Amino acid sequence: MSTKRHLDEDRGRVLGLDNGVDALRESAEFRGPIEPLDGHDHANDHFALVYDDRAERLAATVPFLRQGLDAGEKCLYVGDERSLETVVDLLRDRGVDVDGAVESGSLVFASVQDTYLRDGSFDPESMMEVYGTEIEAATAEFEALRVVAETGWIVENGVPIEAFMEYESRINELFDGADAIALCQYDRERFPAEELIEIVRVHPHLIYDTTVCHNVYYTPPAEFCGPDRPERELDRMLGTLRERAQAKASLHGQTEALRSHHALASRSDLSFDEKLGRFLELGCEYLRLDIGFLSHTANGRFELVDAVGDHELIQPGLTANPMETYCRRVLESDGLVAVDDAPTAGWTDDRAYEIYDLDSYVGTTVTVGDERYGTLCFAAREARDRSFSEAERTFLELTAQWIGYELEREQCQAQLAALNEMSRDLMDAEGESAIAEATVAHAGGTLALPLTAVVQYDRAAGGLETAARTERATDELPTAALSETPSGSLWEAFTAGETRVVDGDVSGAGDDVTEIAAVPLGSHGVFVTATEANGGFTEAALEFVETTAATVETACGRAGRERLLAERERTLEEQNDSLERLNRINDTIRSIGQSLVGASTRGEIETVVCEQLADVGPYELAWVGDHDPVTDEVTPREWAGAEKGYLDATTVTADERTTGRGPAGRAVRTRETRVVDNIVEDPDFEPWRQAALTRGYHASIALPLVYDDALYGVLNVYANQPGVFDELERSVLAELADTIAYAINAVESKRSLVSDEVTELEFAVGDDDLGVVELACETGCDLTLEGIVPTPDGRPRAYASTRGVPAEELRAAAVDLETSEPTLVSEYEDGDEPVCLFEATLGERSLCETARRHGGRPRSLTASEGTATLVVELGVEADVREFVAAFGDAYADTELVAQRSRERPRRSPTELRATLTEELTDRQLEVLQTAYFGGYFATPRGRTGSEVAESLGISQPTFNTHVRAAHRKLCRQLFESGGPDR
């Protein structure tokens, strides 16, 4: 016997009845009905194929052989030598590799002459030996033996049908229990009817008219070959008739029960409870038992949901210990359990039998979704006279399935109603915290999720924080530990965006917790709940948890959108307010700017600014203070608005005393804008708080008026409400302060240029880092500023002369003069000394440019022997102290040598003309007047130089000489020291 054969002994036979049936069921050639042959295990694997034509024969034979070859069996075909060739061709046509199968020995073709008639005549004993040997040889090398045999040779060779039928009957015993199956082919046209009757009796299974059926007329070998065959055959026939009648009656009863079952399940006018009661009554009637009941088992409890029948311990609502009930066996097996006679089955020692005294019982589990709900059972105090049939078991299982479906539907409806109720409440919840509280309230109530928490993402802390939890979850659900980063299960679910289900055996979890589910709520956090059900979450339970979480996430998203919308509305309102304030401030600044253009004095600028600022709400008071660097006091110079004596009642300084810690003092010290948003709360405003609040001031801003490091004072503005001076307002007012400082600088600079009375300051600067000082020290030259020419781009061009040093030596000196690269204009000798004239553009740090930026007018500059002497003119109203302080801050080692006031002479037009022309000779004045009135200076020229010269009777070179001489004398009067504008 093969190794495969040994291995399969424990599992049963390799080849059996189902193999032959499956071959026909799966075949495309065989299209007839196949009777289910279940329940006929006593019959062996011996088929009789009774066919009317060749097509019927081949429709069964070809798939029968092909399946055997595919299954690794040995297939033996026995037939007439004339028909073997036809069978081979047919198998090839159906895609069977005949040559390969023959070569491997899995397909063998044998003739009748070599088998049934090998001794010249038919010998049953000899043929039994042949097949016995074939079975033994085949199973040693192959999976099994499959035989197809023709029988037409019986008629042709005159073999008595009685002898062959006795052989056919006896061979059933050989095939019974062996890994072998046989298909005998009988041509109905070649056998008389009485012989076919005998053929039918010796074969347990028949194939006729492409129909496979179990042969109810089959006679076992012991009866067919025995001496009392007629009597036994009669008993069998009568028994068959009785069984068919009983089967028909059972089928009718089963059909009626199923029809009633379907009709009851389909009724829409009955509730589930009403249907359940009738199903229990129907089951008792169909199963012929007295008692029926549905139980619910959960958390070690056994409760009777509904019951029918007369038993005092089996009534609706009663509870019991499940270990002391018949249902214990059902729950342990998780399937159907039946007993028709409990004492006979040995149940009398069972505690349940002692309590309930039931002799017959059948029960099965009821499942809701993937979770076991309880049991459906029927019982009686008396034993049954027969076992529970398959139909009765099926009825019970169908009823349990219907109950499970109905319970699941009701559960889903209840859950849906609970979710709808929660959704309505969540829609009214304002904010994610309120949503979390409402969620756990419903979880602990209608949702039946008593171990639930909502864990929200804290954006500021970057972690998960428990927002709300049910009462039981406080002690039995360790959300804090599960939220730890980066390994906490809740954190993993949140970051991955996927549901995580973890074992309930974690530190801090309740003893009965079996699993914990964490469902992410998008970017809002995690919904976490635990179950105490055996086996953890079922698929349906987890789906419900995820649906609940999706509802919460939707509510959080809605709350988030509403929050964003509210924030946007607030932002929009703030922006509108800011825009209104900006428009207000811009209008004020525009008005102030227009006024500054026309202002001619510093006092006028400060008055305009204070008046217009104080006239705009919510500003109450505006004043400009002047800082005294000697006393550090800040004294009001101009003010406007609801002052109400406030400036007289307060003292402001710019030092570190308490009077210097207010916004004005700090603005002077730091040269930066200082704000007090709320005078009530700012501790540094304490010296002036009472006076300010009494007058309705609640916020203050101090803006230093600084231009190019020069402080022109400090502008203070007070508002009647706190928080007015936000970033926007500060920025705009700071720009206004810069404009005011620039305007003051411009007015003072202009004043120094046009004022009849000026202040003249003389400075001695010994700063070694100053370019002109360093150049004079390094080369020993004397440097003198000859003049400054303004340019359209605002970068003045200066002309300076040096004496005593050649140009090449001056160029070789590596000195930063704070100018552009000087250009040599001219170089000549004056006596024995070289004199050079240079041109350069002034830089920001040059002495002259610094004086100009601070409102002064450089009058003269000389540098010699390590000291630069600068004379500057200021307007009579200019703040000399501020100018001196700014100049001293710009250059080290600076000393104010002299300060003088002088008045510029006023001349009438006649006096000015006389002064300008007094240096001209008569001939120069004549030539200049002739050229002017003759159109020489017009554009385009009315007369050329040669034409004017001809009219004067002189040559053109002479004319040019007189014109240049006249121009030079006039420019000297205009631009050099002592000219008419000095």
Which residues in 495-559 belong to E strands, given as ranges?
500-503, 515-520, 525-531
Specify the length of the chain in residues: 982
For 640-698, how does the pLDDT look when each residue is reduced to its tens digit (9 = 90+)?
A: 998 889 998 889 998 989 999 999 999 999 999 999 999 999 999 999 999 999 999 99
> Using CA atoms, how far apart are residues 477 and 508, in angstroms rounded to an integer?
7
Out of 255-264, 411-420, 961-970, which region has the weakest mean confidence (pLDDT)? 255-264
Q: Give the gyration radius of the chain's Cα atoms.
A: 61
Please, which residues bridge with residue 858 across strands? 872
More confident residue, 38 or 142: 142
> Using CA atoms, how far apart are residues 315 and 790, in angstroms rounded to an integer?
116
**What pLDDT, on the 0 to 100 scale, is given for residue 899?**
87
> How wide is the angle at C-alpha 409 spanned by C-alphas 404 and 412, nearest 5°?
120
> Using CA atoms, how far apart are residues 627 and 652, in angstroms rounded to an integer?
10
Q: What secondary structure, in 3-state letters, does 881-904 show? A: HHHHHHHHHHCCCEEEEEEEEEEC
Pairing of strands 74-79, 107-111: parallel
Pairing of strands 180-187, 145-150: parallel
Closest residue by Cα to residue 493 from 469, 468, 526, 542: 526
Given pLDDT bands bounded at 50, 70 and 90, which one contains residue 229?
low
How much is the mean pLDDT over the chain? 83
For 126-179, how does the pLDDT look when each residue is reduced to its tens digit (9 = 90+)?
A: 888 999 999 999 999 998 899 999 998 998 888 898 888 888 888 888 888 788
Q: Which two tokens stand for residue 829?
A: 């000798």
**What pLDDT, on the 0 to 100 scale, is given for residue 506?**
86
Q: What is the arithmetic mean of pLDDT over 31-52?
A: 62
- What CATH topology corresponds to 3-218? Rossmann fold (3.40.50)
pTM as predicted: 0.44
Given pLDDT bands bounded at 50, 70 and 90, which one contains residue 243?
low
Out of 246-260, 301-315, 405-419, 743-757, which region has the weakest mean confidence (pLDDT)? 246-260
- pLDDT above 90 coverage of the chain, percent: 30
Q: Which two tokens stand for residue 444?
A: 């602990």
Per-residue b/e over 477-508, b at no fewer than 16 CB within 10 Å? bbbeebbeeeebbbbbbbeeeebbbbebeeee
Judge whether 454 and 519 are in contact, CB under 8 Å: no
Domains 3-218 and 599-753 belong to one CATH topology: no
Contacts of 441 (CB under 8 A, 6+ apart): 425
Contacts of 192 (CB under 8 A, 6+ apart): none
**What pLDDT, on the 0 to 100 scale, is given for residue 8?**
37
**What pLDDT, on the 0 to 100 scale, is given for residue 77?**
95
pLDDT at position 603 over 70: yes
Residue with tokens 């700017």: 593
Q: How far is CA 109 from CA 70, 74, 115, 494, 561, in A?
A: 17, 11, 11, 71, 83
First-to-last alpha carbon distance for the chain, in angstroms, is 140
CATH code matching the domain that covers 260-412, chosen among 3.30.450.40, 3.20.20.70, 3.10.20.600, 3.90.1420.10: 3.30.450.40
Residue with tokens 């009930």: 325
**What pLDDT, on the 0 to 100 scale, is given for residue 17?**
46
Q: What is the arithmetic mean of pLDDT over 619-630?
A: 89
Q: Where are the domains of the chain?
A: 3-218, 260-412, 432-539, 599-753, 755-903, 909-975
Residue with tokens 């305009």: 608
Question: What is the DSSP secondary structure assignment for residue 406, as one 8-state letter?
Answer: H
Q: What is the arithmetic mean of pLDDT over 615-638?
A: 89
Judge whether 467 and 436 are in contact, CB under 8 Å: yes
What is 252-320 written as a DSSP string?
HHHHHHHHHHHHHHH-SSS-HHHHHHHHHHHHHHHHT-SEEEEEEEETTEEEEEEEESS-TTS-TT-EE
**What pLDDT, on the 0 to 100 scale, is given for residue 920?**
79
Closest residue by Cα to residue 410 from 272, 609, 542: 272
Closest residue by Cα to residue 847 from 788, 780, 770: 770
Q: Which two tokens stand for residue 303?
A: 């409760």
CB atoms within 10 A of CB 659: 19
Strands laid side by side in the 515-520 sheet? 463-469, 452-458, 525-531, 515-520, 500-503
Q: What is the arithmetic mean of pLDDT over 327-333?
A: 90
Q: Which two tokens stand for residue 472?
A: 């039981």
Residue 497 backbone zone (phi > 0: left; psi -120 to 50: alpha; other: beta) = left
**Chain CA centroid to CA 307, Å:** 53
CATH code matching the domain that covers 432-539, chosen among 3.20.20.70, 3.30.450.40, 3.40.50.150, 1.10.390.10: 3.30.450.40
Q: Which two tokens stand for residue 339?
A: 């007993």
Closest residue by Cα to residue 203 from 151, 248, 160: 151
**What pLDDT, on the 0 to 100 scale, is given for residue 528?**
95
**What pLDDT, on the 0 to 100 scale, is given for residue 255?**
65
For 424-467, how does the pLDDT look when each residue is reduced to its tens digit (9 = 90+)?
A: 988 888 888 999 999 999 998 988 899 999 999 988 888 999 99
Given pLDDT bands bounded at 50, 70 and 90, which one contains residue 108?
very high
More confident residue, 799 or 250: 799
Q: How far is CA 476 from CA 326, 427, 433, 499, in A?
A: 34, 29, 22, 20
Amino acid at 228: D
Reply yes or no on domain 909-975 having CATH 3.30.413.10. Answer: no
For 339-381, how does the pLDDT look when each residue is reduced to its tens digit (9 = 90+)?
A: 999 999 999 999 999 999 999 999 999 988 778 889 999 999 9
pLDDT at position 313 over 90: yes
Q: Which two tokens stand for residue 911?
A: 């006096």
Q: Which two tokens stand for residue 430?
A: 């304002």
CATH architecture designation of domain 599-753? 2-Layer Sandwich (3.30)
